Amino acid sequence: MKKITGKPWLIEFPRMVLGIFVVLNIIAMLSYPGGTYLDNATVGYSFTRNFLSDLGRTLSYPGEVNFLSAQLFNMTLILAGVVFANFYLHVRKIFTADNQRTLALIGSFFGILGGLSLAGVGLTPADLYLDLHIICANWLFRFFFVASLCYSLVIFRHPQFENKFAMGYLVFTFSILIYILISELGPDPKVSQFALTLQVVSQKMILLILMGAIYIQTIGLKRL
């Protein structure tokens, strides 16, 4: 087992980007002029009726310029995507035993794709490149699902990781699965305000769980 304390891509950078993401997106929400998928007349950002991607639109639904909010949101997604891709590129090096290496390699492959997809969401504002935006937004969670499943098993097999870290990753894995099912099989947000709220809130919940899973994993890595 290799010592990893001080490896910036595994501990410091992920923690930094989580903090930056939270702060800058709070500012982005406060800067959003208004409008939702179903109602152009709303004022400001609604936590239960605006998708996160609404922050990245160059124009809000009513057609108002959304410059500051879009710049902050898209920049943080690109930054987070690059950092998370590098996290998965480096974390596989910790799991070198015969019963860990292959799963870690598979997990990192899909984790890197997830990070690149996250950056892709930031590079494709929904009002400019909707098709590409949807592809990136949908596939980033599919990629992270495979990555988190692989690393849940790998962490269980690592003698110096406490099993609670693997359990935390399993919670993340099944949360992603539930989110994918809701987004694919749940009601279309066009149908009603309830359907819109369900999709919006589930999106924010999986994001919070993702952030928590990454932070918890940095704690486990720092203890090695």
pLDDT at 6: 46
CA distance 5 to 26: 31
Q: Per residue of the chain (224 residues), what is the pLDDT tens digit?
A: 455 544 888 999 999 999 999 999 999 999 999 999 999 999 999 999 999 999 999 999 999 999 999 999 999 999 999 999 999 999 999 998 888 999 999 999 999 999 999 999 999 999 999 999 999 999 999 999 999 999 999 999 888 888 888 888 899 999 999 999 999 999 999 999 999 999 999 999 999 999 988 998 899 888 87
Would you kindly state where each structural domain of the chain is located, as residue ranges? 12-222
Would you mind telling me the total number of residues written for the chain in this entry? 224
CB atoms within 10 A of CB 208: 11
Would you call 191 exposed, middle or buried from its count of C-beta atoms within 10 A (0-12, 13-18, 19+)? exposed
Q: Is the pTM of this model over 0.75?
A: yes
